[in-house]
Amino acid sequence: MKEILAKYLPENAVSPCFELIKANNIYLRIVNERKTRHGDYRRLPDGQHLITMNATANKYRFLITFIHEVSHLVAFERFGRLIKPHGNEWKYIFQQMMIPFIIPEIFPKQLLEVLRLHFLNPMSSSDIDPRLAIALKQYDSDEKRCLIYEVPLGSIFRIKDGRVFRKGKRRIKCYDCIELSTGKRYIFQPHAEIELVKT
């Protein structure tokens, strides 16, 4: 198991994560990337805990997601199954479980400050926090994809479901964009992943 974890985690996070797997009776399944989530947790009928994770070359995203899912397990065990999945109990556990990992031996310097701010009040997904999503994107291996804030006004781009848009003006935080096939307006977060279309 340690050899498998070493493919997906920063080197100094492998042993502590392996210990979490052993201590919590976790069955870890790594699957091809899913568009809707980075990972998930559920308790199996036999009492074992299943954590399913997307295979990704971004070791920092994998680590944050793994601790996110283990935090669900620990929060449910400690506070009961009736708590909100991303409520205060889970946030507290997630914060406490991440503290030993937010160190320069595991994360690069440019991520540490972003992580410190994120974990003052962690969100239900790293994708919801624009600062963290943008910082983590630097460590993704998909060269064709970029973030919408990076491209010039008027650029034509495609999203994962194949629809094509023209980038419009920025509102307070988001971008107003037009779907080319329908003329409908859509709002995009600045850290939305897109693929530029050559015109």
User: What is the C-alpha to C-alpha distance for residues 52 and 76, in angstroms, rounded to an integer?
Assistant: 17
Using one digit for the tens of pLDDT, what is the confidence trace for 149-164? Answer: 888 999 999 998 899 9
**Token pair of 122, please?**
């962690």
Using one digit for the tens of pLDDT, what is the confidence trace for 109-124? Answer: 999 999 999 999 999 8
Beta strands of the chain (E only): which ranges? 26-31, 39-43, 49-54, 145-147, 156-158, 164-170, 175-179, 185-188, 193-196
Asked if the model's pLDDT at residue 19 lies above 90, the reply is: yes
User: Average pLDDT over the chain, rounded to whole?
Assistant: 91
- Locus of tokens 């935080």: 173
Using one digit for the tens of pLDDT, what is the confidence trace for 37-67? Answer: 889 999 989 888 999 999 988 999 999 999 9
Residue 114 near residue 135, CB atoms below 8 Å: yes
Nearest to residue 39, comparing CAs of 82, 4, 73, 83?
73
This prediction's pTM = 0.77
Using one digit for the tens of pLDDT, what is the confidence trace for 165-195? Answer: 999 999 888 999 999 999 999 999 888 889 8
